[in-house]
């Protein structure tokens, strides 16, 4: 918070006190959650991270609000990975269940319209996964705990030019996806600004039966790097197809690649992807989170599990600072955040919903993945979004 020492939420719950009011409400604080709970696009790891955070907060007696402690009561709804369902969920939680804040959704295609509901309803929303700048643009009630596509594309471009030494690049991306188009635009801008050359660019849409022709054209350009900022299910086949066509380019991607099984495939050895966080990080706060998550689930957490954990922690800190569990007060407290020390990194806010944070670059090897670089915001100037 501005002018105050920032603590991780575990410490905040135990130590920070807000300014209470007489006759303040008591009982659990209703929090809404909108996530994909089933199907191939489910947010299983994200939800585990969120529930871990809330359970830890409640185990310590809840959030300190004025002179009392109140537990967080999560009311979770399944968005089914469909925008109309996500919007209906948001309306139900805001207008019928009277939640004081929303957590989620993860996907930008869902978070953008849900953010409109939150804005109209005057209820703060924190997404742990939506990276598209449109999610928060022009909105005062919408926040996130993940960096935007602008920054991630700029990181990939800088790493390609400076660390890999790539002079030429090709891109192949989903033209129907706000994530893919936004991050591709940022990569192009950053790569060309550093005197790199985009020698070929191709697009596809999910309904296309064959995408070989587009990849074959890219292969003829023989780029130093091939940027594939696409959903994991598409990227796996695209990487294999590139190798089948004889492309020797270094494969690059974004955080949709994080913790994916295809990274173990031969085609992806030596590839790199950017993310905000990785379970491979040797940071004390991150290591403690990974250990707690493993005890709970038996698996490693995803990046979105970490940013969801931070979303719950950031919300808890804002409620404590607000001194009351009311949407307008919570929004004002969120807007006043300077720095939040999360497990996914140090999140810095500048009177807006978008954090500035470091990014990691992860390399795929024969034995697994390894963090090979951590780039600070000071070393990377985010690029403006636009169509590639």
Q: Assess if residue 2 is contained within a domain.
A: no
Q: Assess if residue 386 is contained within a domain.
A: no
pLDDT computed for residue 209 by the predictor: 57
Is the same domain home to 129 and 45?
A: yes
The pLDDT-based confidence of 381 (bands split at 50, 70, 90) is: low
For the chain, the domain total comes to: 2
Q: In what order do the strands lie in the sheet with 29-35?
A: 72-78, 29-35, 101-103, 125-127, 142-144
Q: Assess if residue 387 is contained within a domain.
A: no
The torsion region of residue 291 among left (phi > 0), alpha (psi -120 to 50) and beta comes to: alpha
Tell me the residue range of the domain where 153 lies.
149-275+359-379
Q: Rounded to the nearest 10 degrees, what angle do helices 284-297 and 303-322 cross at?
A: 110
Strand-strand pairing, 68-70 and 63-65: antiparallel
pLDDT, tens only, 49-97: 999 999 999 999 999 998 999 999 999 999 999 999 999 999 999 999 9
pLDDT, tens only, 244-293: 999 999 999 999 998 888 999 999 999 999 999 999 898 899 999 999 99
Q: Please report, for the domain that includes residue 59, its CATH number.
A: 3.40.50.2300
Q: Assess if residue 229 is contained within a domain.
A: yes
- Predicted confidence (pLDDT) at residue 188 exceeds the cutoff of 80: yes
C-alpha distances in angstroms, 348 versus 77, 175, 341? 29, 31, 9
Q: Assess if residue 71 is contained within a domain.
A: yes
Phi/psi for 29 (5° steps) reads -95, 120
Is the same domain home to 170 and 299?
A: no
Q: Is residue 351 exposed (0-12), middle (13-18) or buried (19+ Cβ within 10 Å)?
A: exposed
Is the same domain home to 241 and 367?
A: yes
- Global confidence as pTM: 0.84
Q: Assess if residue 373 is contained within a domain.
A: yes
Is the same domain home to 187 and 47?
A: no
pLDDT computed for residue 20 by the predictor: 39
Is the same domain home to 372 and 243?
A: yes
Is the same domain home to 172 and 287?
A: no
pLDDT, tens only, 201-218: 999 998 875 678 888 999
Spatial contact of 219 and 246, defined as CB atoms under 8 Å apart: yes
Spatial contact of 277 and 303, defined as CB atoms under 8 Å apart: yes
Is the torsion defined by CA of 157, 162, 164, 169 positive or negative? positive
Is the same domain home to 236 and 375?
A: yes
Is the same domain home to 122 and 165?
A: no
pLDDT, tens only, 7-58: 444 443 433 333 433 345 779 999 999 999 998 788 999 999 999 999 999 9
Is the same domain home to 164 and 142?
A: no
Q: Assess if residue 354 is contained within a domain.
A: no
Spatial contact of 131 and 61, defined as CB atoms under 8 Å apart: no
Is the same domain home to 126 and 35?
A: yes
Is the same domain home to 109 and 176?
A: no
What residue ranges in the chain does DSSP mark as E strands? 29-35, 63-65, 68-70, 72-78, 101-103, 125-127, 142-144, 168-174, 197-204, 225-227, 250-253, 272-275, 339-342, 345-348, 359-365, 368-375
Distance CA 101, CA 96 (A): 13
The single-letter DSSP state of residue 161 is I
Is the same domain home to 108 and 22?
A: yes
């Amino acid at each position: 918070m501005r002018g105050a020492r920032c603590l991780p939420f575990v410490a905040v719950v135990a130590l920070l006190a807000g300014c209470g009011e007489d006759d303040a409400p008591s009982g659990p604080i209703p929090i809404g959650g909108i996530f994909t709970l089933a199907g191939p696009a489910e947010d299983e790891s994200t939800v585990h991270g969120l529930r871990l955070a809330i359970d830890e907060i409640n185990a310590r007696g809840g959030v300190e609000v004025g002179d009392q402690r109140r537990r967080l009561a999560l009311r979770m709804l399944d968005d089914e990975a469909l925008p109309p369902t996500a919007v209906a969920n948001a309306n139900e939680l805001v207008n019928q269940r009277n939640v004081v804040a929303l957590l989620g959704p993860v996907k930008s295609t869902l978070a953008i319209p849900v953010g409109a509901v939150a804005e109209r309803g005057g209820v703060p929303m924190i997404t742990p996964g939506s990276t598209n700048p449109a999610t928060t643009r022009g909105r005062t009630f919408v926040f996130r705990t993940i960096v935007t596509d602008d920054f991630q594309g700029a990181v990939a471009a800088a790493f390609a030019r400076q660390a890999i030494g790539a002079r030429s690049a090709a891109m192949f991306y989903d033209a129907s996806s706000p994530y893919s188009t936004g991050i591709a635009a940022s990569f192009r801008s950053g790569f060309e600004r550093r005197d790199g050359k985009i020698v070929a660019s191709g697009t596809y849409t999910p309904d296309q039966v064959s995408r070989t022709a587009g990849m074959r054209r890219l292969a003829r350009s023989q780029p130093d790097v091939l940027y594939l900022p696409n959903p994991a299910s598409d990227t796996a086949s695209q990487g294999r197809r590139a190798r089948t066509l004889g492309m020797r380019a270094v494969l690059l991607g974004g955080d949709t690649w994080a913790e994916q099984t295809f990274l173990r495939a031969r085609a992806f050895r030596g590839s790199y992807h950017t993310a905000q966080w990785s379970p491979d990080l040797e940071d004390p706060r991150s290591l403690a989170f990974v250990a707690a998550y493993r005890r709970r689930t038996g698996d490693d957490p995803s990046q979105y599990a970490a940013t969801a954990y931070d979303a719950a922690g950031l919300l808890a800190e804002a409620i404590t600072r607000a001194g009351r569990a009311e949407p307008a007060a919570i929004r004002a407290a969120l807007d006043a955040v300077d720095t939040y020390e999360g497990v996914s990194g140090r999140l810095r806010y500048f009177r807006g919903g978008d954090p500035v944070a470091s990014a990691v670059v992860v390399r795929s090897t024969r034995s697994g993945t390894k963090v090979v670089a951590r780039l600070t915001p000071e070393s990377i100037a985010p690029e403006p979004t636009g169509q590639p």
